[in-house]
Amino acid sequence: MDSVRISKTQATAKMKISKVLLVLPAARHVRVTSGDSSVPRRKMLRFSILGLTTVAATTPPQYEVTICDENVEALDLDTDAEVVGISFMTAVAPRAFEIARELRRRGKIVIAGGFHPTLCPEDTAEHFDAVVAGDAEGLWPKVLADIEAGRLGETKIYRHRDLPDLACVPAPRRDLTAHTAKYYATINAVQTTRGCANGCTYCSITAFHRRTQRTRPIENVLAELRTIPRDFIFVDDNIIGDVEYAKKLFAAMAPLKKRWISQCSLRIADDPELLTLARDAGCMAMFIGIETLSDANLADFGKEFNDAAGYRKRIAAIRRAGIGVQAGIIVGADGDDPGVFERMLRFLRIARIDALQLNILTPLPGTPLFEWFDRDGRISDTDWSKYDFRHTVIRPAGMTAGQLQDGADWLYAQFYRLDRIILRTLRTLLSGKAGLAVLAWKLGMTYRYDNIRERIVGRNPAARPAAGHRFRAAARRAWSALTGVGKRKAKTTEQDASRLRFNAS
C-alpha cells in the first residue's frame, strides 16, 4: 500500500467505532428526500450498488453496517453511525461534498471512495477526513483500524501500490439491500473482471485500473452465481477483454442455466465460438460502445478497432447469435457536424439496434480527453453535476454548443418515441426472442419516462426550419443588428485560457 502522508499534528483522537453507514449519493432530479419520499419510476436504470455491497463485505465483522442509496431512500443526516463511507462518480461529486460537509459538522468521520475520489484524490480530500483511491479490498479495513487507533490524520489518501489480486474479492453483502430491492431492475450485479486493456481516450476505466484487466478465479464467480437467482447482470467493463478467460467462464456457466446482460467491445462479433459460448451461457444482450460513424472520431478516441465500415455486418452477427445490442453512442466529437444526429438515427434503425445510451462527449477527469480539452480551453462548464453525459460542458469543433445539446436531446427523444419502441419490440418478438423483447420494452419505456419527466425534446439542428420559423429568425436577427439587443456576449480570451477551477459546491 502507498499513501500520502500529511502532518502528524492533524491526527484524530482514538475513536471506538460500532456502526458504519455507506452512502450512494444521487443527483437532484432523481434523489429521494425526506420531504418527498416517493421513488421515481426508473427501476430499469437502477441495477447495481455493487461498489457499496462490496465495501460492506470488506468491513470487519465487528462493525454493524448499513447502506443508504439516495436513489431509493432518503438519507438521515442524524445517523448514529460514527463513520460514514461515501461512494461517488463525478456527476454526483457536488452532492457527495454537500453530504460530507453536513456529516462532518455533526462530528462524523467521513471517508470517500469510488471513481471520482480515485481520479481526483487531492480535490476530494479537501472535503473528507480521508480518501480511498482504488479498490476497497485491503484499504478499507486499514482506514477503520487507523480511525480506532487515532492514526487517521496521518494518511489522507489511501492507495494501492500494486492492484490487488481479485481472488480476494469477497461475496457482496446483498442482504443489506433486501429492504429496497424492489426498486432495482436487479440487485444481482456480479463482477468477474475489473478494468479494460483498451486505452480509449475518453474512458475513466483505463485511468482507474491503470489500463489493466484483472480476472477473478472462475470457481469464485461460479460459487457466487450459484447463490443468486436466474436473472442477473455482469457489470464488467469489457467481459470479453481476456478472450481465453471469457471462453472458459462461459463454458463453465452453461450448465447453470442463467440469463444475463453485460458490456463488451464489438470484437465479440469476430469470434463465432465466443458468440456461441456467450449465448449458451445465457447472454441476452450486450451494451457495446459503437460510439461514432466517423473513422476520424474513432482515431481521436483511440478506438480504431471499432472500424465504422464494418458495423452493420458485425452487429448483424451478434444479433444472429440471439444476443441483443444496446449501443453506446457519443456525439460532439471534433468530426461531428450538425448532420450527425440524423445520420445516427438512420444508422440505429438500419442496424436494428435494440436500445441506445446516448452520451454527449464529456471530458472526465483523469482521462487524456480531459487533459486535451483543458489545455485547449475548450471546457465551458465546470459544474461536476453536469458531467452526466446529458449536458454539454465543452465547446465542440463542428457545431455550436447549443446545436450539440439540441441535437443530442432530439436524437434521444426520437429513438425512444413510443411508436419506435413498439416497432422494435414487435420485431424482436416476431423473431422469437420474447425475453429480449420484454427487456427492450422495459428499458425503452424507462428511458422514455426519463425523457418526458426531464422534458427532453430537442431539435434537429440540421433540419430546415419551417417558413414561419425562418421568417421569425430573420426578423430577430435584423432587430438585434439594429438595436444590439439579444447578441450573445463573447467570452474573453483570458477566461478561455485560464486554468479552470471546478465547482465544488
Contact positions vs ligand B12 (CB under 6 A): 24, 27, 45, 48-51, 54-55, 85, 87, 89-92, 111, 113-116, 119, 132, 135-137, 140, 189, 191, 203-205, 235, 237, 357, 359, 364, 388-389
**In angstroms, what is the minimal distance from the CB of 268 to ligand B12?**
17
> Under DSSP, is residue 48 helix (H, G, I), strand (E, B) or coil?
coil
Say how far apart CA 474 and CA 242 lie, in whole Å: 57
Phi, psi of 11 (to 5 degrees): -55, 140
Say how far apart CA 444 and CA 200 lie, in whole Å: 28
Using CB atoms, what's the residue nearest to ligand B12?
Answer: 113
Contact yes or no for 41/87 (Cβ under 8 A) = no
**In angstroms, what is the minimal distance from the CB of 42 to ligand B12?**
9
Question: Which CB sits closer to ligand B12, 236 or 300?
Answer: 236
**In angstroms, what is the minimal distance from the CB of 235 to ligand B12?**
4
**In angstroms, what is the minimal distance from the CB of 156 to ligand B12?**
14
Question: Which CB sits closer to ligand B12, 132 or 281?
Answer: 132
Question: Which CB sits closer to ligand B12, 341 or 412?
Answer: 412
Question: Which CB sits closer to ligand B12, 209 or 433?
Answer: 209
- Return the C-alpha torsion angle 374, 378, 381, 384, nearest 10: -40
Question: Which CB sits closer to ligand B12, 189 or 361?
Answer: 189
**In angstroms, what is the minimal distance from the CB of 441 to ligand B12?**
18
Question: Which CB sits closer to ligand B12, 186 or 297?
Answer: 186
Question: Which CB sits closer to ligand B12, 23 or 317?
Answer: 23
- DSSP calls for 109-130: EEEEESHHHHHSHHHHHTTSSE
**In angstroms, what is the minimal distance from the CB of 35 to ligand B12?**
20
- Largest alpha-carbon pair distance within the chain? 76
Give residues with Cβ within 8 angstroms of 66, minimum separation 6.
19, 20, 21, 22, 81, 176
Rg (CA), the chain: 24
**In angstroms, what is the minimal distance from the CB of 65 to ligand B12?**
11
Return the bridge partners of 260, or none.
232, 283
Question: Which CB sits closer to ligand B12, 178 or 482?
Answer: 178
Contact yes or no for 285/442 (Cβ under 8 A) = no
Burial zone of 370 (CB within 10 Å; 0-12 exposed, 13-18 middle, 19+ buried): buried
Return the bridge partners of 288, or none.
264, 327
**In angstroms, what is the minimal distance from the CB of 90 to ligand B12?**
4
Which of these, 282, 52, 327, lies nearest to 187 by C-alpha position?
Answer: 52
Pairing of strands 155-159, 2-5: antiparallel
